[in-house]
């Protein structure tokens, strides 16, 4: 009877998780969160994975406190689970709690030295804490790990490009941003970073192509619209500059309401 009950529980668990995944993929995050919450007592063997998924879904719903509780529950169950530590650290990073984020992310890479996302996020956190040498070390480790094994992961290149842009190392920034855009050509941020480096390098004609692509991908990308207006003006395209500036003003209002 115990074996039958165990098999039934496992099947029930997998059915709930499948429903949660379908809801998540459809961006029905409230439904997904409800399914995952129901899965917690029914999926004892997958409890850590469920808690992490629930926390990620709660974060997307804007429920930061609930997400933190879910990630803490996962860490409490398995203190040396790198995915649980990474999830909690990344949440802290998104909340600008950088010192707390570093503590969890450092633990994650000690346990799993190949956790490229944790290395990448460590770079971001060290940067925010003005620990430039640690930031560069972490970014370069992330780049090393993703170079061949994770060819679609673009965040490490984009984040390091942003790091270099803020330090006027524009050629380095361009190379990294262009690689990020090659990895994910549908990222408006990657196109914007590439364009921003080109503007700094005074390659305005080329930068316009990247900026136009950025605002095509994200019509409400206010920073890209503003830079596009300024770049049009430098090229003497006043009518285009005026139109881009109007779009920037509208996008800024939308961003303020958000």
- Predicted pLDDT at 254: 74
Q: Could you give phi then psi for residue 218, rounded to 5 degrees?
A: -140, 90
204-253 confidence digits (pLDDT tens): 999 999 999 999 999 999 999 999 999 999 999 999 999 999 999 999 98
- Predicted pLDDT at 12: 84
Cα(241)–Cα(238) distance, integer angstroms: 5
% of the chain at pLDDT higher than 70: 95
pTM attached to this predicted model: 0.90
Fold topology of 151-258 = 1.25.40
Q: Where are the domains of the chain?
A: 151-258
Helix axes 47-60, 64-77, angle to 10 degrees: 160
């Amino acid at each position: 009877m115990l074996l039958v009950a165990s098999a039934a529980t496992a099947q029930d668990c997998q059915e709930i998780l499948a429903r949660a995944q379908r809801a998540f993929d459809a961006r029905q995050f409230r439904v997904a969160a409800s399914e995952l919450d129901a899965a917690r007592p029914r999926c004892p063997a997958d409890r850590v994975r469920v808690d992490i998924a629930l926390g990620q879904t709660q974060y997307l719903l804007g429920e930061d406190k609930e997400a933190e509780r879910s990630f803490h529950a996962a860490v409490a169950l398995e203190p040396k689970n790198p995915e649980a530590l990474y999830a909690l650290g990344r949440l802290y990073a998104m909340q600008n709690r950088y010192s707390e984020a570093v503590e969890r992310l450092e633990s994650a890479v000690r346990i799993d030295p190949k956790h490229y996302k944790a290395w990448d996020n460590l770079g971001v956190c060290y940067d925010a804490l003005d620990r430039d040498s640690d930031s560069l070390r972490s970014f370069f480790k992330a780049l090393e790990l993703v170079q061949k094994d994770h060819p679609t992961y673009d965040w490490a290149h984009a984040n390091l490009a942003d790091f270099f842009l803020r330090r006027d190392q524009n050629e380095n920034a361009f190379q990294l941003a262009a690689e990020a855009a090659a990895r994910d050509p549908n990222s408006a941020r990657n196109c914007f970073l590439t364009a921003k480096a080109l503007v700094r390098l005074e390659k305005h004609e080329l930068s316009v192509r990247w900026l136009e692509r950025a605002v095509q991908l994200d019509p409400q990308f206010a920073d890209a619209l503003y830079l596009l207006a300024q770049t049009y003006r430098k090229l003497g395209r006043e009518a285009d500059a005026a139109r881009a500036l109007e779009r920037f003003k509208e996008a800024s209002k939308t961003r303020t309401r958000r």
